[in-house]
A = this chain, B = another copy of it.
Amino acid sequence: MIVYEKHVGAINLFGRAYGSALPRSMVLAVPVGMLTMFLQWDVPTREYLRAVQRHPNALMVVGTLLGIIIALRTNLSYARYWEGRTMVAQMSSKWSDASIQVVAFDEAATGEPAEHGIKFRAEFVHLMSLMHALAMQKLRGDSDINNLSVGSLVDIPTPKPSPDPGDVEEWYKCISLWDYFSLFPAKRHMKTYRRIFSLPVLGGISPEEREVLSQTEDRVHCVHCWLHRSLVARRMEGGIKVDAPVVSRIYQVLSDGMLGFENSYKLANTPFPFPYAQCITVFIYAVAFLITPALAVGWIDSLWMSGLVAFLMVLGYDMLNEVARDLEEPFRFDPNELPVWLFHHRFNARLVTTLCKSLMPEVGIT
């Protein structure tokens, strides 16, 4: 996710190429511009295209229709992007609440159970961190457990990671010119990328955990089961020593958080429908290679101007379409994806605060 300032006239937005849709849309706009200039230059073609068209609107109607379609598609894509953000917020918020509740409620235990309390709470927080890390991995389509690193249960790493992957030098120097023209980084790059933006699990992962998880299709669900078993067991041994109805809240917020995850994950596993995407692509190519040159050559009487107009029209349509293709999968494409590593850092920071850094100070009433 690229964070940008808002200067007068938004003039600063021109200065960034990595993450821009501009180079990607050149791939189509430049050839069309050149084709148009060629047709304009070739006198018989030009004369034919002019003689044939008695009015530009007969062709323009297709262009207008495409404009409406692409504009609406881009808004659908933004809606997907935003739904992703909202659902991650729900997941993180509710799972944070679960952690607060478990820790605060368990600290109330007395006697023998209280002795095991620290261990239980540390384990619980570890499992929450593990579940969140696995969830983030699933959202970004990454199934390699080795991309989970070890995080500390007592310290919050500083400084906070940047939301913009372009700020991380290690990654920025991997980007080649090719990556500016393609939505997808090469596979090899993706591997590097996920390694650099690894997701720390508080307390690390034990070999036993690693083994079970590597054999499981649905890892988030599996850790969710562990969390339930862990809570039941702890309650039975005398921990989480608050009234039962209060305990039941924990299960509710866990479930609400899981619904947030499911709803983010559906964005990762349900692409923008194929026939819709294909329909728009067919349209774009038809407009780019048939309608645009015919219009530009037919109604503009200058080699350079007709090329420029054709270039601008195709750039307009295609740039918008590239934005749509990018946003519609909010967790997958670098660098405009939602920063899952930063979300995970924030969640971990909360866990650490909950566990170790939120003892109540003397409150201030003056």
Contact = CB atoms under 8 A, between A and B. Distances in A.
Interface in A221-258: 221-222, 224-226, 228-233, 235-236, 242-249, 251-255, 258
Interface in A27-78: 27-28, 48, 50-69, 71-72, 74-76, 78
Contacts of A6: 183-184, 325
A255 B61 CA distance: 50
A56 B299 CA distance: 8
A365 B153 contact: yes
A114 interface: no
Nearest to A8: B182
Given A61-B60, A364-B205, A282 B353 contact: no
Interface string A332-366: 00001010000000100110011001111111111
Q: Please state the number of chain copies in the assembly.
A: 5
A365 B201 CA distance: 10
Given A184-B6, A266-B86, A230 B360 contact: yes
Interface stretch (A98-106, A132-140, A169-177, A191-199): A98-106
A226 B269 CA distance: 32
A258 B93 contact: yes
A309 B366 contact: no
B299 A263 contact: no
A221 B58 contact: no
13 contacts: A52-B302, A58-B298, A65-B317, A68-B71, A94-B259, A100-B225, A163-B269, A203-B366, A204-B364, A209-B363, A244-B245, A245-B247, A283-B319
